[in-house]
A and B are shown apart, each in its own frame.
Chain A
């Protein structure tokens, strides 16, 4: 492991001032420290941002929740307002990692975790995300759990976060602080598709610090469902965050986001558009899923994700409708 300096910042200004291109912000460290051990990340300096005053969850007068970036995942899932208003978000976070890791991991770190693609994590192999221009062995290699949507010739990685999938469905906004001041980045614009620059996961500027996530109110029943290769402690094969306002059997409004299918949480807007105003039937749901998945390009060994995503859309929305 490369020797590195460890510093604690007390304020965002202090953190920003100390940040250069060889610095990484340290939250819970549950992903970053692993990557440092593997040699994937080799920062010269870590600036610990868990002591910044970003560890609270506030209810705004608008009904929105402002969740500080340093809030621990466990605290997020235990917060009464989050539990009351956003069951989908609670379910998503609780479906990730383990109790011990959630006690340590922060909201900001959860957003910024890196792909778990095997090739990315092994510095003895090429990877365009880790070392641009070296190639992507996953395309012809092991990719059964990689992307079916929005991938490129340079990268087929998926984003591993469950929380981010729920936040995508919730139209959350990421609040940041950078050298240019504060920004509010809609989650839809926060994550990137890989294109020819898979080394960049997000649209954050160098040194820009995530300070909070703002979640607007949602007046629809919601849920998160994750399919994985064991009952707990595994990344999603495909997951879904869904909400639906169904009255008299008709979908008035809905939200659908998929995890495990792309380089970013995949907001299924085509499926949503297809469903709005239509009766909540298996047929319409399948049609909506097909609309969304028409753009998919499965790899050799992950076409099963098409059917899985389609089934999850149909089943989760039907279950939400039954509750209405």
Chain B
């Protein structure tokens, strides 16, 4: 008859109290596992996404974080536009492997419609490092003026888009006017757990073919030509000029189309080697007048430094639940000692030393906490596994749930915690007077 068996029998002897105690521990542990796993999944998702590009070229008006969030996570607005020539220049740069243009501002049923190129489907990867374009039900749209579209999995599910369906886009997320052009869905991305799941992608050339965009471009062209004519007249009359504030130095000498007039929101850059990253980004620091280059990994890291305290708050809350459950065990065990004085006295009469009694009670506490913890781990992982499809569909967070190092750490911590929680009841137990509790009637 081992000490463990005695402790285990004692736990089994009070099934209701033991089960309720274990459930309280299990709920705390399940919550902790869920929070930590979700946080880690979200962090991983953001960091993996941010690794898609070495740099993003964006407008100087926007903050670096705004540029990253808008370009890679399809959140917020672009904060301005870039000259189209910036994209052309990046595309022709020998150090650049992929230059991916982005034009945003249109929506379909609340989901962002992103004008881009097929390069995006090669440059960006899913968590298994498979290019987005290889993980598609259908095909990627063709570059050029082809009114074809690829929808992310969540965007497709929530808007009802399927292959072959035609749709029109609106200007702005809510209450915007509808453009007249129609795109046909040629591919649906499989769920990737990346922000691409939540967006709809069209060839950037078709973005500029939208009638309303053309009109806006024409108006800008007219205003620019009038301004240039005025400047020409002033020069002919020998007036002195101040500093040239024209920012389209590359546009001189060729006719402006809509894309030159409207520009684009950002350009995602994947370099041929990450070693080139710092030097590449540094070049744009001297050219801040028109373009800024930001490193998405840096921005995401800074973002999580800010929101990290919120994460920690939630994690702390979950651990507090475990702590409260542990205190519940302490109170419960401590109170049962009063009713177990005779049992303890019998053990002592059989030759158990105070140390044996102490060990039995501490072990009971460890058993309750560890079993509750194991139940909590199973509950937490099962909950995550069951909610994973919903989480990836609703929030785009790919939860990878499975037993791992975290679980071992949690179980180790719980065993120590159970031991600590059992100390006070055990101390009370070992002080039980033996003789007067063996014969309660005398």
A binds B: no
